[in-house]
């Protein structure tokens, strides 16, 4: 057991962390890791969301934070789907502040070539903030896949999400699916990609690829040994 070793989960939007690495979060916390959640965007009236939508999302985030038992949550509250209209330097600075406050050894980030531009910008911003000379305590960075974004990335130059790290989440899959259900504003019935059945099916597929009942898959971006 590696007690209190800090891990940072970076999510462009609330629910990305559960879709991409919910089982891994639960497993790491059970093993004694200190797991922190960095939520880059957030709903606001200025961004065009209603007070009801904002309140629902606030309650979802509070419930999910409690269910995972995160050590801390950091909300940057940039406007969703508008990161490309913001100076990347501003995003890098805020992410860098969170990284230096937490000093994680491991960081999980979205896959760069996801369909959603927010994911690409968050990926680039984290990689900039976590350069070895800026954040020498970061020893490993892993990219996760996000149903409805990674599978819809159609950039011709992209070779596709090719996982080379698998984490067995067999004993955590049911709780991951239960946490997904908290995001009532994001989850719909199958065959919608952000559905319980789709996420469960992906876990079984990734499990087959690593001889486990269920797994989550990642691409190793950087590791310092």
3-state secondary structure 170-222: CCCHHHHHHHHCCCCCCCCCCCCCCCHHHHHHHHHHHHHHCCCCCEEEEEEEE
Mean pLDDT of the 25-45 span: 96
Mean pLDDT for the stretch of residues 136-154: 93
Distance separating alpha carbons of residues 58 and 41, to the nearest angstrom: 12
Which tokens hold the place of 183? 């995001």
Domain positions in the chain: 6-223
Handedness of CA 163, 27, 11, 104 (dihedral sign): negative
pLDDT band at 154 (very low <50, low <70, confident <90, very high): confident
On whether the 6-223 domain is CATH 3.40.50.10320, my answer is: yes
What pLDDT does 1 receive? Answer: 44
Angle (CA) 112-90-13 rounded to 5° is 45
Per-residue pLDDT tens for 83-132?
999 999 999 999 999 999 999 999 999 999 999 999 999 999 999 999 99
Q: Which two tokens stand for residue 216?
A: 């989550």
**157-205 confidence digits (pLDDT tens):** 788 899 999 999 999 999 999 999 999 888 888 898 889 999 999 999 9
Position 128 scores a pLDDT of: 98
Greatest mean pLDDT among 40-49, 144-153, 196-205: 196-205
Q: Tell which phi-psi region holds residue 18, choosing left (phi > 0), alpha (psi between -120 and 50) or beta.
A: alpha
């Amino acid at each position: 057991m590696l007690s209190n070793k800090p891990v940072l989960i970076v999510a462009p939007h609330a629910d990305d962390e559960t879709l991409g690495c919910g089982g891994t979060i639960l497993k790491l916390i059970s093993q004694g890791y200190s797991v922190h959640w960095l939520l880059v965007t957030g709903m606001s009236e200025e961004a065009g969301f209603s007070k009801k939508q904002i309140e629902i999302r606030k309650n979802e985030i509070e419930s999910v934070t409690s269910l995972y038992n995160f050590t801390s949550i950091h909300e940057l509250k940039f406007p969703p789907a508008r990161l490309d209209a913001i100076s990347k330097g501003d995003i890098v600075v805020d992410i860098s502040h969170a990284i230096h406050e937490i000093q994680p050894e491991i960081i999980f980030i979205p896959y760069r070539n996801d369909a959603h531009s927010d994911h690409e910008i968050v990926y680039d911003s984290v990689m900039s903030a976590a350069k070895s000379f800026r954040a020498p305590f970061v020893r490993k960075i892993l990219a996760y896949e996000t149903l409805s974004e990674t599978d819809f990335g159609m950039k011709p130059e992209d070779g596709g999400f090719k996982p080379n790290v698998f984490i067995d989440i067999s004993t955590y899959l049911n709780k991951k699916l239960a946490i997904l259900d908290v995001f009532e504003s994001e989850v719909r019935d199958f065959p919608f990609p952000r559905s319980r059945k789709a996420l469960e099916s992906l876990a079984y597929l990734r499990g087959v690829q690593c001889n486990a009942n269920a797994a989550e898959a990642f691409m190793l971006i950087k590791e310092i040994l």
